[in-house]
Structure 1
Amino acid sequence: MEQEVEERPAPVEPRVEAQSPQEQQEVQAQRKLLGDVDPSTSDAAAVAKLLNVDPSVGLSSEEAKRRLAKFGPNELASAPPVPKWKKFLAQFKDSLVYLLLAATAISLIAWIIEKAGGHAEEALPFDAIVIVLILIVNAILGYIQEAKAEQAVSALSEMTAPTTNVLRDGRVVRIATTDVVPGDVLVLAEGDTVSADGRLFAAASLRIAEASLTGESVPVGKKPETLESAKALGDRTNMVFNGTSVTQGTGRAIVTGTGMNTQVGKIADLLSATEDDSSPLQKEMDHVSKILGIAVCIIAVVVLIALAVMEGFHTTQDVIDSLLLAVSLAVAAVPEGLTAILTVVLALGVQRMAMHHAIVKKLHSVETLGSASVICSDKTGTLTKNEMTVERVVTPSGEVQLTGTGYAPEGNLIGLDGTAVVDPVRHEVLATLAAGALANDGELRAGDKPGTWDVIGDPTEVSIIVAAKKTHADRAFQRFQRVAEIPFTSERKRMSIIAKDTTDNGDLTVFAKGAPDVLLSFCNRILVDGAVRPITEGDRQDILHAVDRLSNEAYRTLGEAYRPLETPKLSAVPGMKLNAAGQAADVAEQADVIEHDLIWTGMVGIIDPPRVEVRDAVAEAHRAGVRTVMITGDHPLTAARIASDLGIIDKGGKALTGEQLDALPDEAAFDKATSQVSVYARVAPEHKLKIVESLQRQGNIAAMTGDGVNDAPAVKSADIGVAMGITGTEVTKESAKMILADDNFSTIVAAIREGRGIFENIRKFLRYLLSSNVGEVFTVFGGVVLAGFLGISQPGTQGVTVPLLATQLLWINLLTDAAPALAMGVDPMTEDVMNRKPRKLTDRVIDGPMWGDVIYIGIIMAIVTLIGMDMHLSGGLFTDRSVDLQGHDAQMVEARTMAFTILVFAQLFNALASRSHLQSAFVGLFSNKWLWGAIGLSVVLQLVVIYVPALQVAFGTTSLPAGAWLECILLAAVVLVASEIRKIFLRIGDKRRQHA
């Protein structure tokens, strides 16, 4: 319901998705209202006529309802939430999972055929059940971890009141922001958030902060005058835009666009056009899955062909045995625990990052961030604090700097050389800051939380109040009481107040501040060394030179002045116009009477300073080979100054503007520019997106940080989008893969460090898992092809005899692989992790040297396993060392148990060897206690499987004599010895290459 109010609305930022057909029709209907008319270059009355509204009355309630039905609600396109069941099923979208599901189907079909023929040894399809259970556990784990990440992101969102003030039926009412329609008259006041795009037709000292949309750090002065020609978004001074906020003054605007027809909506279209891409690790896992799948199929075909040629398929049982062999090969090749282990390791990394205020929405983004080679960062609020700060004060007797940043009134005056400031400079500085703090509409209040501060009004004005508090200049103006004001306007470029001295004779004093060159023209005197004297032309030139110098250093300058009126009554001021009652008429209309013969005190240099900790973070990123690129909508001088202060570019470096980017002839020239330039200013959202895409074309893994709506498309398109958690808009947060809860750029570098450590550990357990599984494949393949040679199959036997059962392979993969792999996932981070260059996009996670390790260890593992098996069978290469057993079947059980145990122990030795490609396993042998715990657990579990009767039946094992255990350990240790020998030769080769 509508009701008369004086409340002010808070920003509402709905979720952003592609538009539905109905939403597209609503946007088209809105655009037909204005046609090709640009409201910024059209008279406000003409815009009102096109929208059929009387600006003094607003729309009627009935007309507003009709327009709401026609043009749709004032909100961005939204998508329905993804059902939980779809999120769960998405966990099964993996090539490795498909391969295992195929193996499950084959195993189930074979069991059904055997069951129908009465030959099934098991009451249930144990192999198929175990594989399915493993897949379900993996899916549950991945679903839970992603759900936790989503909850953490959701917790960052702040509840906002979706209301706005409009003129309806001739009165100001509060309505739901979603009910604002084209033609509505927005009623704007200080502190309001603009809820739609609109054309101003009335404004009084109106200034609007548009940083979230344009990147401009300083609030923009707004006025209703028609523009002569179309301007860039940040220069449309007679327009207001959805999502921006009023910092000063009042105004009224006719709504020209709502929802997706606003500038925010256009950015949302760009956002929906960009597509999410898989992370490098996800792509690599898909690649590995395909290789494994193809390899298994090839090996299975070769084995089946070999069996068909050598033995032939004479019965149905032969076919079933062959199918079960295919299942064994699939189970041996696929590391079933890989997905779960990868999920757990990434989840642990996510938790560690969350402790450092970096919330990762998707687990695989952790690895992507660790691989980042470029960080593209917005300036305002990301590299800087978005808190205007007075850093310089220039007076006739000298120039000083003021320490401390932001709105906390903590800092000191020091000379440019770091020395203490003494009179007369100190006296002049205090006079300057006192004048600026008095001629001021801002307010600084202590926040609800200790150490926090709330800013009321224009941040630039508040920065002068903060500076006055830092220097205790505020004590000088506590005795003054304001009695009148001549407000700031964009035409006047200055403001003045008249204040009464309550502690003296009550005389009035004028205090003024404004653009230095403008204010200086109203001054005829200057305060020097505590005395007032006439201002000279030399004084004016010195002041103007100082203005130019500070402007070139990216400071925003404001001059301060005053004039004693030497009377306690306004009516007694010479030239003051009086009303019928003999009182002073409206002072705001008598600037010429007040603002003359002013005394110049000095000026301040204001800037949105860089965060203190960011410079060190940029330096660390540079050492790590990660390039930092600033992309902002701010002024080129400001961007270059901040970038040089942070070490992004050298002193004197330049920024490339959006216009200069548009002037580049082709994509090749654009890519050349982005490969060399690290600072971009006055850019539009489209430019940010193009810069990110250009860097990606050059092979970079790009991270893009941002907080405003204008950053969202580039954030989504980047390999790793990073949104600000405190100042970031909801649109940007939803587009990002990671959110900084503390809005601190240095947190990104800490996350890169964590990501690199995680990536190194991922390579360790991938090396371990793949080499172990390749060893299993070679064992099964070699055992089948060489069955007669090794004594696995005896003369006269029929069918296929596999060296290891599918359940035994599953046991190895599920338990003895999983625990050590998880332990390697938390291996301590090496100290030099940030001294290495980032890996290229073309570099494989599993590269050639790693595949060499995998195949080499896999072959050694298969050889020692088959040797141990052969030693306990008659008719093979070695003397039969089995216990006095009757029959080949009994020997086969013991031989399989030996092979099973050797393979387990070989993989445990491989866990030690796999911690490094080059470094000896004996370096830092006991640094990872979790790994030794995992090895101990695996040994215990293997003993349980071999000696517990019920598990002997389930896994086809038998008890081993004491001597057999020594054989198992010695044969398995060959894997570690062989790995150490290979590493010795690799280190020698590496040293030769370094010296070459």
Structure 2
Amino acid sequence: MDDRIIDPSALNREPHVEPADAEESKEVKAQEALLHDVDPSLASADEVAEALNVDTHTGLSSEEAKRRLEKFGANELASAPPVPKWKKFLQQFQDPLVYLLLAATAISLVAWIIEKVNAAPGAEGGEALPFDAIVIVLILIVNAVLGYVQEAKADEAVNALSEMTAPTSNVLRNGRVERIATTDIVPGDVLVLGEGDTVPADGRLFAAASLRIAEASLTGESVPVGKKPETLEKAKALGDRSNMVFNGTSVTQGTGRAIVTGTGMNTQVGKIADLLQSTEDDTTPLQKEMNHVSKILGIAVCIIAVVVLVALAVLEGFHSVHDVIDSLLLAVSLAVAAVPEGLATILTVVLALGVQRMAAHHAIVKKLHSVETLGSASVICSDKTGTLTRNEMTVERVVVPSGEVELTGTGYAPEGDMVSLNGDAVPENIAQEVYATLGAGTLANDGELREGPKPGTWEIVGDPTEVSLVVAARKTHADKRFHHFTRVAEIPFTSERKRMSVITKNDTDSGKLTVFAKGAPDVLLSYCDRIFVNGAVRKLTEGDRQDILKKVEELSREAYRTLGEAYRPLETASLSEVPGIRTNAAGDVSDISEQADVIEHQLVWTGMVGIIDPPRVEVRDAVAEAHRAGVRTVMITGDHPLTAARIASDLGIIEQGGKALTGDELDSMDEKQLDKATSEVSVYARVAPEHKLKIVESLQRQGNIAAMTGDGVNDAPAVKAADIGVAMGITGTEVTKQSAKMILADDNFSTIVAAVREGRGIFDNIRKFLRYLLSSNVGEVFTVFLGVVLAGFLGIKNPDSVGVTVPLLATQLLWINLLTDAAPALAMGVDPTTEDVMNRKPRKLTDRVIDGAMWGDIVYIGLIMAIVTLIGMDMHLSGGVFTDRSVDALGHDAQMVEARTMGFTILVFAQLFNAIASRSHLQSAFKGLFSNKWLWGAIALSIVLQLLVIYVPWLNTAFGTTPLPPMAWLECIGLAAIVLVASEIRKIFLRMRATH
């Protein structure tokens, strides 16, 4: 044995022997020796506890745990170093569309240099500075800053959600079981492990009951490994260290307690942590489509630019350097017009804000892209207990062989009385049978009830159904009649077995062993051959069985969940002496959980309890809303079929008198029959977790987008396989939470429906701002394209000049895209959910975000924008169609500056009117016109910015603008409003077509 583990003097516990810092240093060294240099599996649990200075009965104190956390650090794997802020800022420029703008900047700069070089001697040679290039670069920098800030905020939102979903673990501290953040676990902590838990750190077991742990993630062993606390005689491979538990593995069965010997990077998984750091974020379907749209726009504008330039070269030819410069500036303008700057940033921010809103309503979405799937859900498969019901399990009825009693009081407060159904006093023989039944239920139990921090409040630990038995036993004081029984072994409850048994020793009867069991009455009854009645045990007759099963059906019809209780005296003080028990070569009893056939037979039936868990009041409305939205609700429960059907009909999931399909019936079906059944049946009872997976896969084969709720460890495969895996935040196991895409903080079904509604609203808002941004950019492209092609017709081109004249400058277009587009787009991302969002069928994941109808909107509005912009310019130019204005003393160039300012302003206001119109594809913009205060704030901000660029002198120079007279503003607003009018006319025709 390694003395570094077992030598208690190494810890130097006595404070008077050494100064405090020296004592602390030695203790840390001793603990670090255990953590790094030795194998705890070769030491006894007592020796490990002594070396780590912990009492396994009380655990560490809060103060000691805090001190160790400071010494050893958080229990987490070292992550990849954070990306430096400067690098994140530069990443804002890593976009094909930004590259296009940078190319446009270079072209603009080259054009300015060529113009300066080719200027006639003594002439000014055009602009003193390359204003176009400077402004484009400045605006790109501003855009990068805005993008960086917004993405930082989105990251903060996602990190906040991560903290909400951070794993927690049960540890023994201050003499009581506490649930703490896994990152706060320290060496020496006592882990309290149960089925469904993820092991949060490496540890040495000192107690285990039928404990089995899945270690495939670490050792590759596909079958869960049985664990025992016995000390190993020699060093073994990782997968054979049966007295150790390891970080990241999961408990599939049983319970156990272990002393933490390694945390964070000092765990076995920490040694391979580098392999876990190479993961990259997946590109979501929505992001892929946005990238596709950006590429299409970039390619389209390049093609348009080439076509225009070739056409100009053929029709007019390039006669001078100025012609080349003008053509290059045209390419710059087209590039700037096509690029929706900030699109990716706005998309991320809108998703993050939506996910934050969901979290505020108890739906914690772990990944932003899950929002896309949520809005498409067509089936929600839900557990009954705690999700459709209140999860305030209360034992109301106790049925024993001699009669039946009722327990008063509700909830978890152990306050109430035992009364007969007719109001008379409970006879002594019935009372004795009730005590036996509740005593068996509270012993075969892992639940715990304890008083809360405030007097009169109660907290539960464990399964609510088990805690309800503890509460019932306390109400009748049955627990005090059985306090002398001490648990020595356990055969845990599993979904397949539907029962649980414990082996106890009777401290008042020479330590003799007794088995206590509880489970589904119809299942447990099959293992009973005797019955406790009138204070004596007799043979269980067939008539007794039929009476019990008949009572089960009666209680189930009244929506009671039933649990049967039984016991069996083993008549020995040693498990090894029980007839049929298997032992190993050393004479020790083999894993008792594998010997249920020996223990769980010849049981004595004592009675059963009826537990009520009333439906949540709000769930019926949520189910109705889901049905209205084309989302089917499916109930899956382990309860009796009659109970399931009663609750389902009460909630509106099925019609009154509807039937439930059982797990046995599902097993008897082939794939074709199963698909037919799942397409019709909405209630499943007496099902095991593997049936959940079958149901999900069947629904998915039919083209459904399925959400599946789960809490137990065996639910994890179904939750992971579902399109939207939903874990219970209160009762859910860590394994299930890790498999899920969403966690319900309140375990409430109505929260799922609210999340679907929110998901649809978020997706609607994404489509709104995409419609707005893309139609605005298409409008700019049409303005530039048509303005060049029709330049002579509209009076844009000076008849006395040659070459190309662009209707709007690149800097003006960039100003529109960055400042007057971004704010309204963001505001539309938080637009209130429309009334009809849950009145339409679910969207298919294969449906395009930007479909044909939306492209029709985009092109139609873009064309209207271009037309009204060019009309406004034409009205301020000589030689135009609408106004043949005479060339004044300032000449055509001065007119062009004013006309450009008009076109620039009209386009800005046209896009603001478009923001109002784009909130719905069909609904009138005037319906709920002022419901989004953020949008009106963004419009006001855009107007102020436009006024600045027109009336601030140095901005006039930078953006080629000039102050406008008051009458010009009426023209601008009047022409821009045509966009809203045109949109309303189109919506009227679309609504008329939709109704026919």
What corresponds to 1:972 in structure 2?
A: 976
Which residue of 2 is the match for residue 588 of structure 1? none
Task: Supply the distance in 2 between the matched residues of 1:869 and 1:157 (Cα, whole angstroms).
Answer: 59
Q: Tell whether 2:476 aligns with 1:473.
A: yes
Give 3-state SS (helix, strand or coil) of 1:244's partner.
strand
Distance 2:550 2:530 in 1: 18
The 5 A counterparts of 1:630-641 are none
Percent of paired sites with the same residue: 60
Partner-residue secondary structure (3-state), 2:607: strand
Instruction: Indicate the residue corresponding to 1:142 in structure 2.
Output: 151
Does the CA-based 8 Å contact 2:879-2:885 persist in structure 1? no
Aligned counterpart, 1:127: 136
Deviation of the 1:355 alpha carbon = 1.7
Corresponding residue number in structure 1 for 2:250? 243
* Partner deviation per Cα, 1:47-70 (whole Å, 9 max, x = no partner): xxxx9x999999999xxxxxxxxx
Matching residue of 1:892: 896
Q: Is the 8 A contact 1:206 1:251 kept in 2?
A: no
> Is residue 910 of structure 1 aligned with residue 914 of structure 2?
yes
CA deviation map 1:232-264 (0-9, x unaligned): xxxxx9999953288679999xxxxxx9999xx
Pairing of 1:145-294 with structure 2 (within 5 A): 145-154=154-163, 156-157=165-166, 206=210, 242-244=249-251, 278-294=283-299
Query: Which letter maps to 1:152?
Result: L
* Alignment correspondent of 2:435: 434
After superposition, the Cα gap between the structure-2 partners of 1:837 and 1:801, relative to the gap in structure 1 and judged at 3 Å, is: same
Structure 2 counterpart of 1:803, which letter? P
Residues 874 and 880 in structure 1, CA contact (< 8 A), matched pair in contact too: yes
Q: 8 Å contact 2:772–2:918 — kept in the other structure?
A: yes
Q: Distance in 2 between matches of 1:745 and 1:294?
A: 47
C-alpha distance in 2, partners of 1:187/1:352? 35
Answering whether residue 529 of structure 2 is matched by residue 526 of structure 1, we say: no
Gap change, CA 1:423 and 1:769, over 3 Å in 2: same
- Cα pair 2:394 2:611 within 8 Å, conserved: yes
CA RMSD of aligned residues (A): 5.9
Q: Which one-letter code corresponds to 2:627 in the other structure?
A: H
TM-aligned CA deviation for residue 624 of structure 1: 2.0
Partner Cα separation in structure 2 for residue 520 and residue 356 of structure 1: 48
Change (3 A) 1:177 1:866: closer
1: CA distance between counterparts of 2:99 and 2:647?
Answer: 50
8 Å Cα contact 2:417/2:476 also seen in 1: no
| Corresponding residue number in structure 2 for 1:229 | none
Q: Paired residue for 2:851? A: 847
Deviations 1:735-773 (A, max 9, x none): 655444444443222222222222223333322222222
Q: In the aligned structure 1, how far is the partner of 2:528 from the partner of 2:505?
A: 17
Contact kept? 2:252, 2:713, Cα under 8 Å = no
Q: CA 1:513–1:429 in structure 2 vs 1: closer, same or farther (change >3 Å)?
A: farther
Correspondence for 1:507: none
8 A contact 1:722–1:739 mirrored in 2:
yes
Comparing 930-939 with 784-793, greater Cα deviation is found at 930-939
Equivalent position of 2:563 in the other structure = 557
Match of 1:879 in 2: 883
Deviation at 1:804, TM superposition (A): 0.6
Cα distance, 1:524–1:382 mapped onto 2, change above 3 Å? closer
**In structure 1, C-alpha distance between the alignment counterparts of 2:713 and 2:551, rounded to whole Å:** 33
Question: Superposed, which structure 2 residues align to 1:413-562 within 5 Å?
Answer: 422-423=423-424, 431-439=432-440, 440-441=442-443, 444-446=448-450, 448-450=452-454, 453=458, 462-469=467-474, 472-474=475-477, 480=481, 482-483=483-484, 517=525, 521-523=529-531, 525-526=533-534, 540-546=544-550, 549=553, 557-559=563-565
C-alpha change, 1:123 and 1:193, in structure 2 (3 Å) is: closer
**Is the CA contact 1:376–1:703 (under 8 Å) kept in the aligned structure 2?**
yes
Cα deviation for residue 817 of structure 1 reads 2.2
1:849/1:123 CA distance change after superposition, 3 Å: closer
AA aligned to 1:141 is Q
CA 1:481/1:837 → structure 2, altered by over 3 Å: closer, same or farther? closer
The SS at the match of 2:928 is coil
Q: Which of residues 281, 296, 309 in structure 1 aligns to 2:314?
A: 309
Match of 2:930 among 904, 926, 942: 926
Aligned to 2:965: 961
- Cα 1:293–1:630 shift into 2, 3 Å: farther
Is 1:346 matched with 2:331?
A: no
Number of residues of Structure 1 aligned to a counterpart in Structure 2? 836
Specify the code of the residue in structure 2 equivalent to 1:785.
Answer: V
Report the counterpart of residue 936 of structure 1 in structure 2.
Answer: 940
Residue of 755, 770, 789 corresponding to 2:793: 789
- Structure 2, unmatched stretches of 5+, are 9-38, 50-74, 119-124, 174-183, 218-224, 230-241, 260-265, 493-499, 509-513, 574-599
Match of 1:627 in 2: 632
Q: Is the 8 A contact 2:209 2:254 kept in 1?
A: no
Distance 1:754-1:101 versus aligned 2 partners, 3 A rule: farther
Q: How does 1:628-777 map to 2 (within 5 A)?
A: 628=633, 644=648, 651-655=658-662, 660=667, 664=671, 681-683=687-689, 688=693, 699-706=703-710, 720-726=724-730, 736-777=740-781
CA 1:336–1:611 in 2, change beyond 3 Å: closer, same or farther? Answer: same
Deviations 1:75-115 (A, max 9, x none): 99997466456776766666655554554554455556557
Displacement of 1:473 = 1.7
Do the aligned partners of residues 100 and 637 (structure 1) sit closer, same or farther apart at CA in structure 2, a change above 3 Å counting?
Answer: farther
Which amino acid in the other structure matches residue 473 of structure 1? T
Which among 326, 332, 335 is matched to residue 337 of structure 2?
332
Whichever residue aligns with residue 661 of structure 2, its letter is K
Deviation string, structure 1 residues 692-733 (Cα, Å, up to 9, x no partner): 677566554444555566666766666555444455566665
Alpha-carbon offset, residue 790 of structure 1: 1.0
Q: Is the 8 A contact 2:199 2:245 kept in 1?
A: no
Give, as a single letter, the amino acid of the residue that structure 1 aligns with 2:376.
S
Aligned equivalents of 1:698 and 1:548: distance in 2?
36
CA distance in 2, matches of 1:670, 1:535: 42
1:122 alignment partner AA: L
Shift of the 490–514 alpha-carbon distance from structure 1 to 2, 3 Å rule, reads: same
- Give the TM-score, by structure 1 length: 0.68
Amino acid across the alignment from 1:468: A
Secondary structure of the residue that 2:564 maps to in structure 1?
A: strand
Distance in 2 of aligned mates of 1:966 and 1:466 = 76
The 5 A counterparts of 1:47-58 are none
Matches of 1:251 and 1:858, distance apart in 2: 67
TM-score with structure 2 setting the length? 0.68
Contact 1:558 1:604 in 2 (8 A): yes
Q: CA deviation at 1:805?
A: 0.7
Worse overlay, 832-841 or 650-659: 650-659
CA distance in 2, matches of 1:223, 1:607: 38
CA distance in 2, matches of 1:250, 1:807: 68
CA–CA distance in structure 2, aligned partners of residues 600 and 660 of structure 1: 30
Does residue 323 of structure 2 align to residue 318 of structure 1?
A: yes
Q: Is the 8 A contact 1:394 1:429 kept in 2?
A: no
Q: Quote how far apart the aligned CAs of 1:550 are.
A: 8.1
SS in 1 for 2:768: helix
Shift in Å, 1:273: 14
Offset of residue 203 of structure 1: 9.9
The alpha carbon displacement at 1:300 in A equals 1.6
Give the stretch that moved more between structures: 845-854 or 875-884. 875-884
Distance 1:189 1:550 in 2: 37
Give the letter for the 1:526 counterpart.
Answer: N
Distance 1:297 1:710 in 2: 55
Given residue 341 of structure 1, which amino acid in structure 2 is its aligned partner?
Answer: I
Letter in 1 for 2:311: A
Aligned equivalent of 1:585: none
SS of the residue corresponding to residue 832 of structure 1 reads: helix
> Which range moved further: 780-789 or 949-958?
949-958
Work out the CA distance in 1 between the residues paired with 2:722 and 2:859. 36
User: Do the aligned partners of 1:699 and 1:842 also contact (CA within 8 Å) in 2?
Assistant: no
